[in-house]
């Protein structure tokens, strides 16, 4: 999934399950994510277990709802508090999203460790729909494991 704006980019990709074999239902469903961010000339890439399979499904539904209804939803937060999504505004042509990046998801250029970095991105409706489809396709390859 790629979301862009005039001065920023956010890319999120599923790399694998974090744990291939585990007795814990929770551990079996952690996803190892590749994250790439760009903001005002800075770019950072990292790999971390940021989302559970069902949380990624919630993100797909959240993005899809916003793209199809043009109605913002409350902030979407996850088990790992280092990542969250918020839709601040909707216009006829684009969306203002803020993505919280904290702790292991924080980009290297954000040096204030006492606060999270909020990355603003302004995708078009088409880009948001395409990003939702990309995530949905990736999720099919990494379903929830019982």
Bridge partners of residue 32, in order along the sequence: 16, 49
List 76's β-bridge partners, or say none: 85
pTM for the whole thing? Answer: 0.92
Domains and CATH numbers, the chain: 2-141 (3.30.2450)
Residue 25: φ, ψ to 5°: -60, -40
Measured at the alpha carbon of residue 93, what is the angle toward residues 89 and 99, in degrees to the nearest 5?
Answer: 40
Contact residues for 87 (Cβ-Cβ < 8 A; gap 6+): 66, 72, 73, 95, 96, 97
Q: Which two tokens stand for residue 27?
A: 């551990």
Give the whole-angstrom CA distance, residue 45 versus residue 105: 9
Residues in the chain: 146
**Per-residue CA distances from 133 to 9, 37, 139 (Å):** 18, 20, 10
- DSSP bridge partners of 8: 39
What six digits make up the tokens of 40?
């005002």
CB 29 within 8 A of CB 53: yes
Per-residue pLDDT tens, the chain, 146 aa: give them. 999 988 999 999 999 999 877 777 778 999 999 999 999 999 999 999 999 999 999 999 999 999 999 999 999 999 999 999 999 999 888 999 999 999 999 999 898 988 999 999 999 999 999 999 999 999 999 999 88
């Amino acid at each position: 999934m790629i979301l862009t704006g005039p001065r920023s980019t956010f890319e999120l990709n599923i790399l694998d399950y974090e744990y291939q074999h585990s007795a814990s239902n929770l551990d079996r469903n952690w996803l190892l994510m590749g994250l790439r961010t760009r903001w005002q000339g800075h770019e950072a890439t990292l790999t971390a277990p940021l989302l559970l399979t069902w949380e990624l499904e919630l993100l797909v539904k959240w993005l899809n709802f916003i793209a199809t209804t043009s109605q913002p939803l409350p902030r979407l937060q996850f088990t790992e508090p280092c990542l969250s999504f918020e839709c601040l505004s909707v216009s006829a042509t684009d969306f203002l999203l803020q993505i919280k990046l904290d702790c292991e998801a924080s980009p290297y250029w954000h040096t204030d460790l006492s606060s999270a970095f909020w990355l603003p991105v302004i995708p078009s409706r088409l880009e948001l729909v395409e990003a939702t489809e990309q995530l949905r396709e990736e999720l099919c390859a990494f379903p929830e494991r019982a």
